[in-house]
Amino acid sequence: MFKFFQKRKKEIDKTANEKIVYRDMKLLSESAIGFVEMNTEDDIYRYIGKMLRKMLGDCIICIDEYVPEKKVMRFVDIFGYDKKKESLIKLLHFDPYKTEFPMSEQELVNLSKKSINLVDEGLYELFTRKLPQYFTKGVQKMLSITDVYIMGFSWEGQLYGNAVVMMRHGQKIRPEAIEAFLHQAAITLRRRESDIALQKSYDELEIKVEERTRDLAKTASDLEKFKLAVENTSDQVVITNLNGEIIYANNAATRITGYKESEIIGKEPSLWGDNLEDKYYQKIFDRVKKSKKTYRGELNNLKKSGEEYIADLRVDPVIDPRGEVIFYVGIERDITHEKKVDQAKTEFVSLASHQLRTPLSAINWYVELVMDNKDKLSKKQIEYLNEVYSASKRMGELVGSLLNVSRIELGTFTITPTKIDLKKVSESIFKELLPQIKKQKHRITKTYPKTCCYRGDEKLTRMIIHNLLSNAVKYTKPSGKITLDISRDKKWLTIIVKDNGMGIPKKQQEKMFTKLFRADNVRGKISEGTGLGMYIVKSIVDQVEGKISFKSKENKGTKFIIKLPSSGMKKKEGSKELS
């Protein structure tokens, strides 16, 4: 009989266990469906609390969300405690909804490795022994709590939260089913984390796409405005590829050259510049393609009709972020009218200067004639005559300079190279400037090459050296130092004039070789000077294929460097000589 009852008990227990397993499987299936149907807006943590209590029965469950940035658990909600929130706060003596619970490294490791952890000392240990033990035991007794568990929601070492389960009446945990549920919860939380990250990435991408679309729309609008501006500008604009073939030409290109757009596209700009020499195009090529710098110059072009026009040309290389040239932009301005106006002005200045020379010569001659009989003049009369003579001489220098400028601009002056002695030319200039040098007590240093013989135009060479030395004397303070250094190598004859005088302000140095330029720091102090000397020097140096440069610092001095071809100046035919 005993064996019969024992056997019957086993059958009943087995049936009960099968019912429990069936119930657990059903709940796991139900929870799995619930987890699958959830989206990022649903509160997964509260769903976990409800389903976990459904599986465990009459117990109290607290659900926490893990905040990895702070390494704390943030209280979400309590399940199985039917009283109001205020009652819970009164019972615990703090508001769990506003409290974060710090987690030690060991606690984090335990929850990540093991899903279900029994808390030996119950609530006393759970609250890290900050509440009195008698108090926590009283709470457990009041709530009929027998065992306390902490169950972590972790997957592959990543912790997402935990459930604090307070079991009642000696209930038992069914670990297999609960662990399966906890893994479901962890996977769902991980999926939600990935979905949120994906949604964030999608939102950011959508924002970027919208911004990019707006940028492209704005760019398209800006490009359209730019295209309209380029199409309607009065200057000719062409774009060429690396082979020099035109891929774009604006309306001005067809208007100025006379060629249709269909006749221009695919051709080279030499279509209307065929009268230029190959070395000119080589010069542009070297500057723009090899050096990757802007080319600027004037040239004579031919329209389709055969009419010649003068163009101010600018060619720019367009460079990509890697530093490679991808195409070229050429801008031409028809300056034929301006050039004709400038030529008319220059011719007028030339004529006026030439006509002014005759009365000035007469004034000088009569003043000198009267001065030869100064015994018969009073002291005041002699003083007046000296002023007239000095003013007439300055006017003569100005007229001479204006005449030289007009001849330079008209291209009518001659270059006649002969054998000249550079030392002899320089010493004659020093002799002419000697009265001023003595008056100012300047210290002069001179250096000449062993061979001072040079094949050049004596008058032009003298004008170069005279302008540099006279400026140095004029703008160097008393007891200042002036240096002339002439040297020669196989390529260049180098003339250096250096002083420690007034210098040129940095902001005005770019105007140094322009007509009528006089620096602000000398204009008020020294009245003498036409502002044409250095323009004439620069023009002469350019004409004889030389180079000119300078370095200057205000109140520290100036250094001019002239380089003339060592082989000598080339002969040039012209109608007039510079005076």
Q: Are residues 349 and 287 in the same domain?
A: no
Task: Give the per-residue pLDDT at 354.
Answer: 55
pLDDT for the residue numbered 174: 81
Judge if 184 and 39 occupy the same domain: yes
Helix (H, G, I), strand (E, B) or coil at 236: strand
DSSP 318: E
Q: Is 254 helix (H, G, I), strand (E, B) or coil?
A: helix
Q: What pLDDT score was predicted for residue 412?
A: 63
Tokens for 267? 């051709």
Predicted confidence at residue 5, as pLDDT, reads 46
Residues 176, 298 within the same domain: no
User: Would 3 be classed as within a structural domain?
Assistant: no
DSSP secondary structure string for all residues of 148-207? EEEEEEEETTEEEEEEEEEEETT----HHHHHHHHHHHHHHHHHHHHHHHHHHHHHHHHH
Residue from 404, 449, 402, 408 nearest 426 by CA? 449
Q: Could you say which residues of the chain have pLDDT below 50?
A: 1-2, 4-5, 7-9, 12
Q: Which of 363, 393, 409 is the last residue of a domain?
A: 409
Same domain, 35 and 174: yes
On whether residue 368 sits in a domain, the answer given is yes
Exposed e or buried b per residue across 47-86, where buried means at least 16 C-beta atoms within 10 angstroms of its C-beta: bbbebbbebbeebbbbbbbbeeeeeebbbbbbbbbeeeee
Q: How far apart are CA 276 and CA 301, in angstroms?
A: 8
* Same structural domain, 265 and 179: no
User: Does the residue 572 lie in any domain?
Assistant: no
Asked whether residue 433 falls in the same domain as residue 536, the answer is yes
Residue 225 in any domain: the answer is: no
Range of 253's domain? 233-334
In a domain, 552, yes or no: yes
Secondary structure letter of residue 64 according to DSSP: E
> Are 313 and 301 a contacting pair, CB within 8 Å?
no
Q: Which residue, of 167, 196, 225, is where some domain finishes?
A: 196
Q: What is the CATH number of the domain that holds 132?
A: 3.30.450.40
Residue 571 within any structural domain of the chain: no
Identify whether residues 403 and 417 lie together within a single domain: no
Name the helix (H) or strand (E) containing 389: helix 379-410
Domain count, the chain: 4
pLDDT of residue 404: 62
- Report d(CA 285, CA 274) in Å as an integer: 16
pLDDT at 565: 93
Residue with tokens 């769990």: 96
Same domain, 520 and 537: yes
- Report the greatest alpha carbon distance in the chain: 176
Strands across the sheet containing 72-79 = 100-102, 72-79, 59-67, 158-168, 145-155, 116-119
Q: Do 363 and 277 sit in the same domain of this protein?
A: no
Q: Are residues 42 and 190 in the same domain?
A: yes
Task: Answer yes or no: are the C-beta atoms of 53 and 168 closer than 8 Å.
Answer: no
Looking at the structure, tell me whether residues 381 and 421 fall in a common domain: no
Residues 499 and 521 grouped into a single domain: yes
Residue 577, in any domain of the structure: no
Answer yes or no: is 369 within a domain.
yes
Domain of 261: which CATH number? 3.30.450.20
Give me the pLDDT at residue 10, please.
Answer: 52
